[in-house]
Amino acid sequence: MAVLRNQDDYNKNRNYWKYLKAKLKKENSEVVSVTTQLKLSASDGKRYLTDILDYEGIIALGKQFPSKNANRFIDWFTFSPESIDGKSKTKAYALFETSFVDSIEVGTAKGLQQIHAYLFGGLYNFAGQIRTKNISKGGYRFEYANNLNTTLQQIDNMPETNLEEIVEK
């Protein structure tokens, strides 16, 4: 809870957790049903009863707090080299170690498509294609699909004669 709320005060977190459990119970939610109280050591060296969630419970709880902290925590908690994120990260490192990176069109939508195809090829069937569906991840909504062609054309037309323009692009 401290990670999701960015709050390290034990009493505030404990009170909030008690309030949340009561609220969820009143709503007949099953989220709390996977919790157990265990005694864990706190920063003051004492051992306190605390609520523990299983994997699914942590994900469900994190989704109840749509914030940057919650999203970062869930990303960290669920990361695996075998996940799509893990595999695409491995591919990103490999991209910069190959000569393929030198053949990518710099500063164009086509270049972005080439990078996307390399990073997500074999992971998504739409890798390297301009998507036709709206997507979001971790609370972040990507450009609407119906605006994407126009946005990419605008990016292609942006100047890139100095560092500031390149960064803007």
84-168 CATH, one of 1.10.3290.10, 1.10.1660.10, 3.40.50.970, 3.20.20.70: 1.10.3290.10
Q: What is the pLDDT of residue 33?
A: 47
Pick the more confident residue, 169 or 151.
151
- Mean pLDDT, rounded, for 43-71: 78
- Whether the predicted pLDDT of 138 surpasses 80: no
* In the chain, where the domains are located: 2-78, 84-168
pLDDT tier for residue 32 given thresholds of 50, 70 and 90: very low
pLDDT tens across 91-131, in order?
Answer: 999 998 988 888 998 888 999 999 999 999 999 898 999 99
d(CA 6, CA 65): 11
d(CA 125, CA 159): 32
- Whether the predicted pLDDT of 55 surpasses 60: yes
**Are 74 and 139 spatial neighbours (Cβ–Cβ below 8 Å)?**
no
User: Would you say the pTM of this structure is higher than 0.75?
Assistant: no
Closest to 139 (Cα-Cα) out of 77, 84, 85, 72? 72
**83, amino acid identity:** S
Closest to 91 (Cα-Cα) out of 136, 130, 121? 121
